[in-house]
Chains A and B, each alone.
Chain A
Amino acid sequence: MAAFGLARNSCGLINGLRVSYRSLVQVKYGAKSACLLQTNIQSDCRWYSVSHLSVKERIEKKRKAAQMGGGQKRIDAQHQRGKLTARERVELLLDPESFVETDMFVEHRCSDFGMEQDANKFPGDSVVTGRGRINGRLVYVFSQDFTVFGGSLSGAHAQKICKIMDQALTVGAPVIGLNDSGGARIQEGVESLAGYADIFLVHPSDLPHHGSLCILTHLMLCLQDTSYLFITGPDVVKSVTNEDVTQEELGGAKTHTAVSGVAHRAFENDVEALLYLRDFFNFLPLSNQDPAPIRECQDPSDRLVKSLDTVVPFESTKAYDMLDIIHAVLDEGDFFEIMPTYAKNIVVGFARMNGRTVGIVGNQPKVASGCLDINSSVKGARFVRFCDAFNIPIITFVDVPGFLPGTAQEYGGIIRHGAKLLFAFAEATVPKITIITRKAYGGAYDVMSSKHLRGDMNYAWPTAEVAVMGAKGAVQIIFRGKENQAEAEAEYVEKFANPFPAAVRGFVDDIIEPATTRKRICRDLEVLASKKQVNPWKKHANIPL
């Protein structure tokens, strides 16, 4: 067990790296405050010389200005592009009248390139920050304002974000970032880069450059046609590598949800994304200190799902849709799929069982026979670790013919990447329930939350085949060059293509009628709610990255 290295973060949702972040921040805050002082003096002087307004009136004026961001013209332009403004997004995301804004009066402190002029100062700068409620539950939010300098990141902007992140950490609540930014504010030079460093210490996994919606660090949603993410844009690509590529091809929503796996789900537009985000938020605990939330459930936990009795086709080579099983078993068929267009041979997502949030992992026989390859292993592994980090039980549906063979996979390091999934399942201490619907062959069987990886309840359907490999392949090896292959194959099928070999060894806890699957899972989750398992202490686990 020690080999798996299972140190788990004990911090809040967003703050896995909070400790190392703290020391750096302090130094930089020092530098910033010096700068802040200077600019304040300058602008204050000018204010006094031109203003005939009382303080109260000035407060009102500033508030009004802050509400307008970069002004009506820019707001209209944003709308014309089919995008919402930072404030509209926040309003849509949060419950009505629940938003409490912070740092509305913060302004940038840059004095180069004419930036110190009044016309170039916007109260609140290019980001809106604060806290609010989604379905009554607390959340911190920052929303970048494209109408102010294209949402570019300044020192003040970064400082605002860091402030709410710090607050979120102290109360143990999540942060949602709505990113719509052109990148670093070039006029500020190094200071804006320092701001990036601040944020990325908390947000280590992505480089949001433009038009993306980035939530929770852990999950990223984006918009079709208007979201672009890249390290360097097409122009730079062209000049460095002489590669011709469009913005969409390089870093569009399609690229990141289907090819790169950077984004977790794409939506048609702002409104749809925010509405989905509200519902999705309800699946998650506020922090890793909380158990998976339980919502009131109207779907009977003992509901028999008759359609499952016939879902696995008569011929074992024929494909079926694992989503049919998943939808039928869940509460109200409500499934929030993560990365639905990337590595489609594995299905992952969130759902509820008898009201309790669960993570679902399932091989998808419909795509590439549901085999495990590099991309599906990594996708599965990241999801399993997400669930484990946030105390969400994992339900695994297995129909896997093995790992995908071939040079492309071997050269790409399938051993290393496949091990990630194995590692993730092994180190997970949340309740783990596994249902083998059909094939569970070889190493891939082991990987898929098997009993050997500390699965809590492992079930097999009568159609399950737990074996080292398919009959044909096995017979070709065992009886190489011998006659009567067909006969030997039939014998192999009789011996191994059924749930008994695993059941007699206790590798599956029971063979169940498919219709009872929902009932079984709900009952087990009830019992496993009090599961306590502690991995041996270590600084951090050493997952084969």
Chain B
Amino acid sequence: MSMFQKTKTARYSSCRSCAVTSRTPYSTVPSEKTFDKILIANRGEIACRVIKTCKKMGIQTVAVHSDVDSNAVHVKMADEAVCVGPAPTSKSYLNMDAIMDAIRLTGAQAVHPGYGFLSENKDFAKRLAAVGVTFIGPDTHAIQAMGDKIESKLIAKAAKVNTIPGFDGVVKTAEDAVKIAQQIGYPVMIKASAGGGGKGMRIAWNDEETREGFRFSSQEAASSFGDDRLLIEKYIDNPRHIEIQVLADKHGNVLWLNERECSIQRRNQKVVEEAPSMFLDADTRRVMGEQAVQLAKAVKYSSAGTVEFLVDSKKNFYFLEMNTRLQVEHPVTECITGLDLVEQMIRIAKGYQLQQKQEDIPINGWAIESRVYAEDPFKSFGLPSIGRLSQYQEPLKLSHVRVDSGIEEGSDINIYYDPMISKLVTYGATRAEALARMEDALDNYVIRGVTHNIPLLREIITHPRFVSGDISTNFLPEVYPEGFKGHHLDEDRCRELLASAAALHVTSQLYSHKILGTQRVSSAPMDQNNWELCVELGQELHDIEISKSGNSYIVKVDGGQVEVCGDWNLASPLLPLTINGTCRMLQCLSKESSGNIVLQYMGTLFKVRVLSKLTAKLNSYMPEKVSEDTSSILRSPMPGTVVAMSVKPGDTVADGQEICVIEAMKMQNSLTAVKQAKVKSVHCQPGETVGEGDLLVELE
């Protein structure tokens, strides 16, 4: 048993490390004495990320994990691992007692908290300090000062940092919230005081939405942070989210490591980030950087931190908040500056001075990060999805690609934790280069077993508005007002897809004839070279003539001609084709005997059905399948836990009335009725775990 464990770890680390070594080596200072052993109080990709740097620096690592994570990648990568409790985060990754025990047990000298969980928890930092263990992050007073959204703005104001107008205080009840909102003037933003990122953050445009926002945000705040205080402030329309990375040592030296543009968000959570920003000029950048440094100095900040700003169309910028931790999107900064932020954090925590001066901080090229999530982008730009990664292949064969992930083939994405699969980072000398590489990387990324957001990511990075840099935090709702619908194929692309599907079908038909060995009853050879097919895409049927010569097919479709070449390996999930001379990476997700083929093309999944002309003709006699009436049944759009059920059988619900609330990945989602009707039956109870597509409520 243990033998397997070891070999696995060894093989794993060797293949993983190549991802890091393939890129610009970070500056390691070998002579410096550092910690012997660090405990990483986190999971997933960030735990793996920290362990990588520790390995590079020759530091022993300790992973903590919940019981369901005992086989997780970060556990395998670490030198030691300690289980700190059952799956729910409050009982494991937020369980300070268990983590303190783990520190004692393993003799770790320092703790890296990653992001989320305990990373901005001042009590945790205090408890570590009490037992003489170093917290790799800022001092407690900085965490406290910046962790409180209200206090942080006062401090920012005092430090001469631009702040948002209409700033206000803690909110107790829904009516208070409405009053405050009215004073500030709509729209307002409501969020948890203790929370970072977009969690617990809602935007209200009127009194009703304020009340609703108050209810959700306070509940979420309570469940995620154990602190239900809220904050309401003026909401800036059409803003960009640009943040400055700062790095400060314990000797009063503070550097700003340029900005990150994180405007592409959905539900206030970042999706695509880049560094630098196309929007900033050198002067604005410098002023923002200097203000960030002023703020860091004002709170005697040490370690890596991020000062977030909202920037309006006139390049006015307002302080939003300071995150006193390593950010999810730190890799883009690392790519353009060449610094290893985790290494710097460890050095700083050990008490070393920064080696760089402000003028040493470069902007080398361009880096873009896509957050690859296990979620369905077709449902409000991403509702969580769960499952087992039955097949998983990162696009590491491509150059200038960095993938930070904490999962591998066979890993489970479950409802307990953040559904992030990985951070896919590409970089290049110019933005165009980085973008082109991102396109390739997304096309080469194989993820099976869970629904993922690659279709959306690929659409974003190729959208003309994004390419030209015309973005704001409202990008997604503005570009897709009707919701995301996947890639829209133009005529040429459509032809290419049809031709590829037809060629794949013919290849697999020919393959069926390839029985090896001598047979007692001889087979009739396949001597056909031309086929007439009919391909169904959406509601439309397309007649196709296809002929084969060698590895290439000439396909006549919809009045055009397409030439498709390829290796045609039917066992591989990737299908690299040359279509009319252009290299295209397609993916084949499934291919059934019935002629149904699911292809990923331009990032989006397309379902086609390829039939011979005769079969298609006969198929037209087949009765159509009647689909179920979805207006009178409510199914769970995602896996999660039912937190509230607002109706019971016999109730009458109005169109738009809330029926129940499902919590998944710490987000509460209200499900509403789409018509006025009487409730026929209720199939779940609060507290129950439901899967995607499970029947919740039936209406009459």
Contacts and interface: CB of A to CB of B under 8 A. Distances in A.
Interface residues on B, range: 35 or more
Interface stretch (B23-31, B154-162, B228-236, B616-624): B616-624
Interface string B577-618: 000000000000000011100000000000000011011001
A209 to B, nearest CB: 22
Residue from A92, A173, A310, A355 having most chain B Cβ neighbours under 10 A: A310
B570 A91 contact: no
Contacts of A473: none
B618 A92 contact: yes
Contact of B4 (A306, A498, A513): A513
A268 B621 CA distance: 13
B519 interface: yes
A512 B615 CA distance: 46
Interface stretch (A236-244, A288-296, A371-379, A415-423): A288-296
Interface string B401-432: 00000001111100000000000000000000
A279 B593 contact: yes
A279 B512 contact: yes
A282 B618 contact: no
Contacts of B282: none
Contacts of A513: 4, 7
Contact of A84 (B67, B408, B621): B621
A353 B648 CA distance: 53
A271 B461 CA distance: 41
Interface string A289-333: 110011111111000001111110010000000001001100110
Contact of A299 (B68, B411, B571, B594): B571
Given A293-B515, A296-B514, A309-B8, A271 B388 contact: no
A136 B595 contact: no
Interface string B434-449: 0000000000000000
A136 B513 contact: yes
Contact of A331 (B4, B7, B571): B571
Interface residues on A, range: 35 or more
B18 interface: no
Given A271-B622, A314-B70, A314-B71, A307 B388 contact: yes
Given A98-B524, A328-B390, A513-B4, A311 B519 contact: no
A279 B512 CA distance: 8
A231 interface: no
B520 interface: yes
Given A137-B523, A172-B520, A269 B512 contact: no
B511 interface: yes
Given A296-B514, A298-B571, A311 B618 contact: no
B516 A296 contact: yes
B613 to A, nearest CB: 10
A275 interface: yes
A40 interface: no
A276 B611 CA distance: 13
Given A88-B618, A269-B622, A462-B4, A327 B515 contact: no
A218 interface: no
A275 B594 contact: yes
A351 to B, nearest CB: 13
B1 interface: yes
Contacts of A286: 519-521
B598 to A, nearest CB: 13
A324 B619 CA distance: 32
Given A279-B512, A307-B390, A310-B71, A136 B523 contact: yes
A110 to B, nearest CB: 31
Given A92-B615, A309-B410, A324-B388, A79 B621 contact: yes
A385 B623 CA distance: 37
B571 A282 contact: no
A84 B524 CA distance: 27
A481 interface: no
B132 interface: no
Given A268-B625, A298-B571, A136 B520 contact: no
Nearest to B72: A310
B512 to A, nearest CB: 5
B571 A332 contact: yes
24 contacts: A84-B621, A96-B614, A135-B512, A135-B523, A172-B521, A269-B622, A275-B615, A279-B593, A286-B519, A286-B521, A295-B516, A298-B572, A299-B571, A306-B409, A306-B410, A308-B410, A309-B8, A309-B71, A309-B410, A310-B410, A314-B67, A324-B390, A331-B571, A513-B4
Given A275-B593, A287-B520, A307-B388, 8 more contacts: A171-B521, A268-B625, A280-B593, A282-B515, A296-B515, A297-B571, A298-B570, A307-B410
Interface of A: 79, 82-84, 88, 91-92, 95-96, 98, 133, 135-138, 171-173, 225, 268-272, 275-276, 278-280, 282, 286-287, 289-290, 293-300, 306-311, 314, 324, 327-328, 331-332, 355, 462, 498, 513
Closest 8 CB pairs of A and B: A307-B410, A299-B571, A82-B623, A136-B523, A296-B514, A279-B593, A310-B410, A269-B622
